[in-house]
Amino acid sequence: MHCASCAKLIERKLSSIPGIISCAVNYGSEQATVEMEMGVRDRDISEAVEGAGYKIATETSREEIKKQELKKLGTKVIVSAILSAIIFIGSFPEWFGYSLISNRYLLLALMLPVQFWAGWGFYQATWSGLRNRTASMDTLIVIGTTAALIGGYFDTGAIIITLILLGRLLEAKAKAHTSDAIKKLLGLAAKTARVLRGKKEIDISIEEVVVGDLIRVRPGEKIPVDGVIIEGESGVDESMVTGESIPVEKIRGDVVIGATFNKTGSFIFRATKVGKDTMLSQIVKMVSEAQSSRAPIQRLADIVSSYFVPAVLIIAVGVFVVWYVLGMPLSAFINMIAVLIIACPCAMGLATPTAIMIGTGKGAEKGILIKDASALETAHKIKTIIFDKTGTLTIGKPQVTDISDVKTLGIAASLEKGSEHVLGEAVVGKASEKGFVLSKVEGFRAISGVGIEGTINGKKYFFGNRGEKSVEIKRLEKEGKTVMILESGRKVLGFVAVADTLKRGVSEVVDSLSKKGIGVWMITGDNERTAKAIAKQSGIKNILAGVMPDQKANKVKEFKGKNGVIAFVGDGINDAPALAAADVGIAMGTGTDVAIESAGVTLLNKDIKSVLTAFNLSRVTLNVIKQNLFWAFGYNVILIPAAAIGLLNPALAAGAMAASSISVVLNSLRLNKLKI
């Protein structure tokens, strides 16, 4: 594709196919996103695209086609540049003194390959546009350079074509860098896997791995696919997914992610997701879709571009008529060509998609997956943000927060070892951290709704919510903690307090959001006492407690309109409707697939601070888009009148037109260097 008009033409052809619900063609990524009904054939889509004068490339062939096109374009630039230089010298013998090549027929012979070989693509695109009753940038180039050829201005036509081709070559090379994020992600995948087949270990290609395969991973190797450890333990570098470089300790039962890096130990895991189902493949898919999606701000550029070419043709004719009437036919001709050449809508077409592509790619590098461009554009406008409590603000599982003494913890953990209760797991885990050797328990019995009892070394103990509550225990309960009391013979020996604790950095995030003027709310199904305790710890002043899962989405809808643009941050299945209802849904990477699917932004790195990073990414990306659009519009507003009044010759116009597109792409590439 050569300009935004090309993209609009393909969209129009695709939309004309029966059964196509919607389609969007991204000029920056040269990809089409099509929503269609069942029954629409691939052949129908291919024929529509070919009818517009273009071809569909598969994922596997795309890179190769791009390389071939760049090589071909490079050859055309070199040949046309040499011929143009000779033509220019021959056109001005009084300047250079080479009268031998100043023959008009010789110059024409040199011009024809430039016009109809190097510039043949312009004619093809123009003809395709005319067949479909539309005009594009190529139409302007064909009219301008053909007029120069007929008028005998061989140097002008040759230089214009050469400079435009050079601009396209540089633009294509610059655009190639906008998809670096995808290439990096794809390059992370392991190539082989060491699979246990029978009593042997064999190396097979990653494509041959199937669900259920047992795979051994040694220190210093990449994990081939997603799975669950069944034997061994190790520290795994998950920075590919999370952006966090500190290795994560993995033991039996833990999930491992394909393409992450095994650091220290050796382990065997069972493959659970392979091929397109792996997390890496899903990340690549989401980033690719986001890069191809269209931001709402793009609509302005699309509207302008659709009217732009016809308007330029009218202006060019008007310029010719005015100068001709003034008695300057030569100026009329030259200025008309300059207007046609300078007025390129490429920069407008590239302004938004190139920035979106790089912005979403940069987000992926930091563990922030952005599903669509709309979420990226909207995020910086957030006025109110609602956080789910459990699993979002808090760790999501109980942890021991207070103990009366270490002896109580040891006895309580010994009793809870035989329990399957989630609170018991927290007590046992804490004792394990402190290196306790648990005692043997006899006569273990669970008392429903009350606690557990058992005998240790001949002494009977009870551990649960029964017993006299001291002032300290009442204080802990007021803080939203669950306090379990250890008794023996109805005598209170001590207590252990358990609570779902805040994630690291929550208070910092809340404080930062508040300083930005963003209203922060917490929503939870917990009772008001527990909600207030968590809110106090986090610095959140506004709470919605006792909200049932099916009511969360309704609460979000109530907030919309009267509280500005709303963001919802959650992780569970019950959060999915609220995530979808919000202007921007942000799912924690620790959450369910349903929640992630419903959100516009996913924090794979599980870090609550990434909420701030996502907002900053949105802000800097939108700033770059606005800069691009300002330049793209400003360029045409200034230089079209300049060309019309004779301040810009056609050759300079061609150079300026190429420079405008390149400058937009280079400005977008600045996003890679910006800190967020």
User: Could you give the residue numbers annotated as active site?
Assistant: 388
> Could you tell me the CA-to-CA distances from 224 to 266, 270, 421, 570 in Å, in that order?
14, 11, 35, 30
> Phi/psi class of residue 39: alpha, beta or left (left: φ > 0; alpha: ψ in -120 to 50)?
left
3-state secondary structure at position 489: coil
* DSSP secondary structure, 410-474, as one string: HHHHHHHTT---HHHHHHHHHHHHTT--PPP-EEEEEETTTEEEEEETTEEEEEES-S---HHHH
Q: What type of residue is 473?
A: I
Beta pairing, strands 255-256 & 226-232? antiparallel
In degrees and rounded to multiples of 5, residue 368 shows phi and psi of -115, 110
Q: Are 333 and 152 in contact (CB under 8 A)?
A: no
Q: Are 347 and 625 in contact (CB under 8 A)?
A: no
3-state secondary structure at position 192: strand
CA angle (303, 128, 62) in 5-degree steps: 85
CA angle (399, 404, 407) in 5-degree steps: 95
| Total residue length of the chain | 676
**What is the rounded distance in angstroms from the CA atom of residue 128 to the CA atom of residue 144?**
18
The residue assigned the tokens 């797991």 is 425
**β partners of residue 227:** 256, 271
Q: How many CB atoms lie within 10 A of CB 109?
A: 13
Helix (H) / strand (E) containing 282: helix 279-292
Q: How many CA atoms lie within 13 A of 657 on its CB side?
A: 34
Q: Are 625 and 352 in contact (CB under 8 A)?
A: yes
3-state secondary structure at position 269: strand
**What is the rounded distance in angstroms from the CA atom of residue 395 to the CA atom of residue 590?**
10
